[in-house]
Amino acid sequence: MAETVIETHQLTKEFVRDAFHVVALKEVDITVVRGEFVALMGPSGSGKSTLLHLIAAMDRPTSGEILVLGQNLRSLNDRAIAKWRNAHIGFIFQSFNLIPVLSAIENVELPLKLTNLSKKERLEHATTALQLVGLGDRLHHLPRQLSGGQEQRVAIARAIVTDPDLVLADEPTGNLDAGSAQEVLTLLSRLNKEFAKTIVMVTHDPHAAHFATKARHLEKAELLPEGQVPADWK
């Protein structure tokens, strides 16, 4: 049986915004096994990003349990979480979030700065990652000298350079044109198929979800049972 990578139990996140009590995620039970490419789908405000943030330990749940790679995230302090995230998680943002003053290779090298690798090893790893995403000839370009699609591919290289167990993507094609989106999704699919990376991707685009091996839908802060789609889903 495949190894469980993510397991949540009655996971709930509530917060107060402008005196309103908001339930962002309600009693979610989800399991993701190694090698899956899961698309988390749902309309805005359905709680899909909140779930992703909880998996990445960027936020803490109000109640319920979350185990990622066998680690109970609630038991770790800030420093340990930072270290854990660096070692096990690769994160891809909707708006790429590259550091503007650093070149492509420097951006990709950044997470490796927290490892024990030598400068030479870091640069080798970063170069390999950039070659993998097809940007071997753009190593020293600054983000502003790249197209949106190329920027997102640099961000993907940065997410995989530490060889993480889990890649999390938050609307990775949200800011891209159709052509670039296709490239990015093909790349994620390749990472899943050829390199057996476990990927969880948040998207509201049904086309993007086709690249995933499994889609799970959220509606009004609740996770729908597997295979079920919202009533108004087209």
- Point out which residues bind another protein (CB under 8 A): 53, 56, 58-59, 78-79, 82-83, 85-87, 91, 93, 95, 97, 99-102, 106, 110-111, 113-115, 158
CB 231 to another protein: min, Å: 30
Give residue 7's Cα distance to chain centre: 16
Q: Which is nearer to another protein, 153 or 158 (CB)?
A: 158
Which residue, 83 or 193, has its beta carbon nearer to another protein? 83
Q: Which is nearer to another protein, 60 or 210 (CB)?
A: 60
CB of 227 to another protein, least distance (A): 31
> Six-digit token pair at 124?
């080798």
191 contacts 19 by C-beta, under 8 angstroms: no
Q: Whole-angstrom Cα distance, residue 194 to residue 212?
A: 14
| Farthest CA pair distance, the chain | 54
Neighbours of 133 (CB within 10 A): 25
Smallest distance, Å, CB 117 to another protein?
A: 9
For the chain, list the strands marked E by DSSP. 4-17, 20-28, 31-33, 37-41, 63-68, 71-72, 89-92, 166-170, 198-203, 214-219, 222-223
Q: What is d(CA 1, CA 201) in angstroms, rounded to the nearest whole number?
A: 23
CB of 9 to another protein, least distance (A): 23
73/215 with CB nearer another protein: 73
Smallest CA-to-CA distance from 156 within 82, 85, 87, 93 is with 93
Nearer Cβ to another protein, position 7 or 106?
106
CB of 207 to another protein, least distance (A): 25
CA distances from 107 to 18, 146, 153, 158 (A): 37, 13, 12, 7
Tell me the CA distances in angstroms from 114 to 32, 111, 123, 162, 190, one per residue in order.
27, 6, 14, 10, 27
- Cβ proximity to another protein, 144 vs 234, nearer residue: 144
112/185 with CB nearer another protein: 112
Shortest Cβ 62–another protein spacing (Å):
14
CB of 202 to another protein, least distance (A): 14
DSSP 132: H
